Structure 1
Amino acid sequence: METPDETTAPASTAIAAQDWATASGDPRYRAAVIDLLGALAYGELAAFERLAEDAKLAPTLSDKAELAAMATAEFHHFAQLRDRLSAVDAEPTAAMEPFATPLDDFHRQTAPSDWLEGLVKAYVGDSIASDFYREVAARLDSDTRELVLSVLDDTGHASFAVEKVRAAIEAEPRVGGRLALWARRLMGEALSQAQRVVADRDALSTMLVGGVADGFDLAEVGRMFTRITEAHTKRMAALGLAA
């Protein structure tokens, strides 16, 4: 999902200059990429399901059709990731399985109560995840990086959400306070979930702190989350909400 000002990751590492055939010779790197693609694939599948569900809350037929089109785009992204996993001899379901429970827990804990909360969740929550994956993509081999960035393309939900939320706040200003609180909760839950997932997966954590992706240390992880937080603040401003 596109953000008002996408995070900028540090300079590429040696792995980023390689293609998949070369980089995957390191079994630790291969395991990290399979984890990453598995997490992304399940995230896209969950996004498809959520958008299809949110369409039921849409106040107009045109809004319902917009969300249906976005859900279709998310499923296409899922299919690309599933096919890549199969192409690198990884079983897609097995690759996704470790991430199903934490992502399902996140969505269960942040279930929107109405149409506007659903829009804010998709815009804020999905964008935080996209920021994180873009940071990681800068340290992937060229083939994997190209795929990851392509599936992070905005499906149209960003501008759609901004337009609808800002119009709702203009019509009823008090809505802004409720949605701002909701967005802050989403930010906290999304960052906690990302940190838990990384901590539970040795290959991913190694990629982030160095060893697989050289030059990415613990201090850089802290700076990465700072950049993600700053992007969230800009995104809130685009919605007309206070961070």
Structure 2
Amino acid sequence: MVAIVTASDAFEDPAYRAGVVDLLGLLGLGELMGFERMAADAGLAPTLADKAALAGMAVTEFHHFERIRERLDQLGAPVDDAMAPFRTPLEQFHANTAPANWLEGLVKAYVGDGLAADFYREVAETVDPATRELVLEVLADAGHADFAVGRVREAVDADPRLAGRLALWARRLVGEALAQAQRVAVDRDALAVLLVGGVDRPGMDLAEIGQLFARITKKHSDRMTKLGLST
């Protein structure tokens, strides 16, 4: 079982505090880039209603970023410093997966954000209640998932030939996301502390970590089915 941090003095452990700062820095940068991406996707939207919907979701992403910035300030960790270690891998991911059109942008947001959210929720089970509550609050869906599913399914129903191409695109996104995730995992020991624990805080063993990624893979398959695309 994953050990849940409940002690009020959890942040007295420097390694634990560094892990939480890393987690919030990574999540905050993801939300900030999500805001930028949704604002850009709004420019590709085919209708004014779609533009307005994405613009509203982008605003929600920015508010999530602000919540994380506030918490990092409380921890004495400047948001720029907390996010800086993750800028290169996230920018590389987005550079390698720039969507060519509106539908690819929707699939990217749905698949990429979904994978990231699944991982963050798993990690949130290993942290203190206040951090866990904030992570889950920030990950609350602003309506983008249902929006993306609806628009992609409509397009595939109208032109079934799109399904194969978008499924290939989704697989490419997953490959790129996993590659960058591995890079972050190698570079940031502090994040590993949240999963495997330490001397005074047992965490996951290798079997549990394997189960974690199995659950994430299953959720991705379910997400692709909902999207109307084969895995």
Q: Which TM-score bucket, shorter chain as reference?
A: over 0.9
Identical positions, percent? 61
Q: Which amino acid aligns with 2:227?
A: L
Bigger mean CA offset, 21-30 vs 94-103 = 21-30
Count matched residues.
Answer: 230
Mapping 1:1-243, distance limit 5 Å: 11-15=1-5, 17-18=6-7, 21-211=8-198, 214-243=202-231
Runs of 4+ more than 6 Å apart: none
Q: Deviations over 1:49-72 (max 9, x none)?
A: 000001110000000000000000
Displacement of 1:211 after TM fit? 1.8
Residues 210 and 217, structure 1, Cα contact 8 Å, conserved in 2:
no
Greater relative contact order: 1 or 2 (C-alpha under 8 angstroms, separation 6 or more)? 1
Q: Which amino acid aligns with 2:56?
A: A
Distance, in Å, in 2 between the alignment partners of 1:193 and 1:174 is 30
Distance, in Å, in 2 between the alignment partners of 1:148 and 1:107 is 22
Unaligned segments of structure 1, at least 5 residues: 1-10
Aligned to 1:8: none
Using the size of structure 1 for normalisation, the TM-score is 0.92
The two structures, once aligned, show a CA RMSD in angstroms of 1.2
Q: Deviations over 1:113-168 (max 9, x none)?
A: 00000000000000000000000000110010000000000011000000000000
Unaligned segments of structure 2, at least 5 residues: none
Q: Which amino acid aligns with 1:151?
A: V
Distance, in Å, in 2 between the alignment partners of 1:127 and 1:61 is 26
Residues 14 and 214, structure 1, Cα contact 8 Å, conserved in 2:
no
